[in-house]
Amino acid sequence: MEAIQCFTQARGKLLRSVRAFEPHKLISNEHSFFFYIFFSYHVEKIVADGDDLVVSEGSDLAAADQGGGGSSSSAELLKLEELARLLQAEDVELLLQRFVVGDDSADMEKRLRPYIDRVRGYEDPEAQEAARKTVPVDELEEKALVPLAKVGNFKPSKSEQDHAFLIQLLYWFKRTFSWVNAPPCEGCGGETLAQGMGTPLPSELRYDCSRVEIYRCTRCSEITRFPRYNDPVKLLETRRGRCGEWANCFTFYCCAFGYETRLVLDLNDHVWTECFSVHLGRWMHLDPCEGVYDEPLLYEKGWNKQMNYAFGIAKDGIYDVTKRYTRKWHEVLTRRNLITETSLSAVLAKLTEECRQNFTFEVLSALEDREKREMEAIESDLHAADDASVSLPGRQSGDKEWRISRSEIGPDDNGSFSSSSCPVRVCFDEHVTKIYDAFSPILSLLADNSVAKLRALEVFEIFRELLEKMRKSPFKTRRVSLDSASFGTPPFVHQLLPSFSELLNALSLKCEHVDGKIDISLAGDPVKTSLALPVVLDALDDVIHNLRQSDHFGSDVLSFPLLKSNRIHSGSVLASGEELPLGIATAAFDGTRETKWEEPNGGRGCWIMYKVPDGQMRELVAYELMSANDVPERDPMNWVLEGSSDGGSSWHILDEQTSQLFNNRFERRTFKIKTKVPPSNAFRFRFLAVRDVQSNSRLQLGSIDLYASCN
């Protein structure tokens, strides 16, 4: 006992010295022995990434030989020193753990074993079939394919599709499963207060319910039971709970769709999922409660969680994946005090062996091979430099007080993954231009036939309704029929329909006359239609809005803002910043309202640059800016638009605006270039201020459209 106390005290002292990297203090320290042993052991192994720089045995780190060809910089030395410190601290912890840690292998085994049975349950084909039936597969497939198409990938591989579907499955799950703090009263729907635990009823026990929480209504005093079900099939129906139920059910869904999965159990009270992404060639973290994926440092960095043990539980074994979720392994080690590392490895090996009892030699060797690669990758990430430019959000699931009570609120609790760096992105938006151009023959025909404003409005409203119906139909088999009569008198329909052919073509749709009906169906790749439908619906709203605003309709109004010709497309975009993943710069050029460009630090000034493809020179005649979906404070107010004739080396001013206000969300405003300007092959908006720089640091825009002259 005395020895343990001594070591515990020594540990703090030693760690402080090691972390401060003060070897002279350690040498005079009574525990210098440990430092010496581990220091010299580790310097042999230190390899810096980049240029195979090896620090040889016995050399002083501060005067390490940089080796041939390596660029010698003090930054690299610092990196080495930091690495040495970390490795040192880890070893000290490992050593001390042997003395201060209890060694209850039986207890650890007892804790983990039930989870193996649970994940085995996920393999039941009937249960899987039941799970798949609850998922709108067609809708998720479409949602998976559209983002790929948006970056120009119309022919994704199977693994790309599977990866994208998994992410949509995660988002869908987050939308449809509900979080429970205290369940609402079953009698009156009122608020309830916890009364303690109850005994499970036989009807609850049937669904693997080990605990029942009891709540009393604050209004009608009725008792509401909250059984904590572990049976994932039951959860398909109840669709509620806390992270235990969420992760259990989501992991089961992943299994049901054929993904290799692990239920990740964090002994410090959280559960999530890992799936093997064939596309990425590695395991990927997915947190269903948060709707976050591939952000393993979410807990340690975002939630300030004190990680200790994280076990990936799969049908083929239990994996200690803790190192994936930390960059502070030496600190995590101080909290791994339930069992020594050696005994833990033995417990995991034993349970894993049981899981693999009937595996063939081939399967076993493939598993071991992959596991080896996984652990190597985890080890190399563990000491990788932390990407400080990415800040992770605090916990979003559960109510705020509950999160605060768990200290899981991040430093900046706005749920933001901010990135200050922003790559050059290419717009795949030719379809947007085609759609805008395709309104020209329709509007011209209506004007040529002297159709009145109300009649013209009616035509567009009917067409909009039709396309809305089209959007709601299953994406692979989209089809709508309409009675010729609904377009008015039959001769009118026949006159009008040819003018719509360009628009239908832009939507990859075709129109056929069948038995007095007009049948509109897919003409090509269904994903092209999925991509185009939101664009045309927004464009139709815009046409309808502009028609309503104008006092009459005729050929004299066939220009901005009603008719938008020669929209510049397929350029590349670079911005001063962007919000990941949902506020990227190209989102301003995709023709849909539902996405926006968001500049996290743009409130007091930011920029976005657009390069015309192939350096083509275009004479800008107008541009449009649309306000985003929310937060008017982030609307741009003052800006300068510049053009460049040399690809962005020098700039000339095209337009300047001050004190501009967007009165509505999704308000599209047209600005015409008033002076004769030289043709440009690059454009740059410098946004100087947003509507409210005091209360908000961000800028956002729903869309930016640039229009060139016809020649």
CB nearer Zn ion, residue 97 or residue 224: 224
Q: How many residues line the site for Zn ion (CB under 5 A)?
A: 8
Task: Name the CA dihedral angle for 367, 373, 376, 377, rounded to a multiple of 10 degrees.
Answer: -120
User: Which segment (185-193, 345-353, 585-593, 665-673) binds Zn ion by CB under 5 A?
Assistant: 185-193
Distances (CA, A) of 235 to 228, 254, 255, 312, 504: 10, 14, 15, 21, 44
> Minimum distance between the CB of residue 191 and Zn ion, rounded to whole angstroms?
8
SS3 340: coil
Q: How far apart are CA 531 and CA 431, in angstroms?
A: 8
Token output for 628? 């985003």
- 190 makes contact with Zn ion (CB under 5 A): yes
CB of 5 to Zn ion, least distance (A): 54
**Helix axes 243-256 and 105-121, enclosed angle (nearest 10):** 50
In 3D, which of 601, 576, 563 has the Cα closest to residue 705? 563
Nearest to 314 by CA among 363, 361, 259: 259
Residue closer to Zn ion (CB basis): 70 or 198: 198
Among 4, 6, 62, 188, binds Zn ion (CB under 5 A): 188
| The 572-575 sheet, strands edge to edge | 425-426, 572-575, 606-611, 682-690, 636-644, 652-657
Q: Which is nearer to Zn ion, 217 or 688 (by Cβ)?
A: 217
Which one, 189 or 281, has the nearer CB to Zn ion?
189
* CA 436 – CA 532 distance, rounded (Å): 11
Helix (H) or strand (E) holding 286: strand 282-287
Report the amino acid identity of residue 425. R
270 carries an active-site annotation: yes
Among residues 219 and 513, whose Cβ is nearest to Zn ion?
Answer: 219
Interface segment toward Zn ion; rule CB under 5 A; list 71-79, 183-191, 295-303, 317-325? 183-191
Of the residues 147, 187, 441, 488, which one makes contact with Zn ion according to CB under 5 A? 187
DSSP string covering 679-698, please?
-BSEEEEEEEEES-TTT---
Listed ranges 124-132, 179-187, 243-251, 389-397: which one lies at the site for Zn ion (CB under 5 A): 179-187
289: nearest Cα among 248, 232, 235: 248
The window from 209-217, 342-350, 537-545, 702-710 that contacts Zn ion (CB under 5 A) reads 209-217
One symbol per residue from 70 to 109: x for binding Zn ion (CB under 5 A), - otherwise; what is it?
----------------------------------------
Among 184-192, 235-243, 439-447, 582-590, the segment contacting Zn ion (CB under 5 A)? 184-192
Nearest approach, Cβ of residue 220 and Zn ion (Å): 3
CB of 229 to Zn ion, least distance (A): 22
- Among the listed ranges 148-156, 187-195, 311-319, 460-468, the one in contact with Zn ion (CB under 5 A) is 187-195
Catalytic residue among 208, 287, 429, 635, which?
287
- Of 193 and 452, the one with the shorter C-beta distance to Zn ion is 193
243 is catalytic: yes
Q: Which of residues 188 and 617 has its CB atom nearest to Zn ion in the complex?
A: 188
Cα separation, 558 vs 370, whole angstroms: 63
CB 213 to Zn ion: min, Å: 16
Q: Does 679 bind Zn ion (CB under 5 A)?
A: no
Find the shortest distance in angstroms from Cβ 188 to Zn ion: 3
Residue 398: both structure tokens together:
């559960």
Closest approach, Cβ 218 to Zn ion, in A, equals: 8
- Contact call for residue 183 and Zn ion (CB under 5 A): no
Q: Which of 243, 254, 275, 606 is catalytic?
A: 243
Helix H or strand E encompassing 574: strand 572-575
CB neighbours of 624 closer than 8 A, spacing ≥ 6?
A: 561, 564, 668, 669, 670, 671, 703, 704, 705, 707
Nearer to Zn ion, 16 or 219 (CB): 219
Among this protein's residues, is 381 annotated catalytic? no
Of 210-249, binders to Zn ion (CB under 5 A) are 217, 219-220, 222
Q: How far is CA 337 from CA 19, 259, 319, 347, 451, in A?
A: 21, 34, 18, 15, 81
Nearer to Zn ion, 189 or 613 (CB): 189
Contact pick of 48, 116, 185, 422 for Zn ion (by CB under 5 A): 185
State how beta strands 509-514 and 572-575 pair: unpaired
Q: Given 3-state DSSP classes, what are the helix, strand and coil percentages for the chain, each rounded to the nearest 5? A: 45, 20, 35
Catalytic residue among 231, 255, 270, 427: 270
Residues of this chain that interact with Zn ion (CB under 5 A) are 185, 187-188, 190, 217, 219-220, 222
Give the residue numbers marked as catalytic.
243, 270, 287
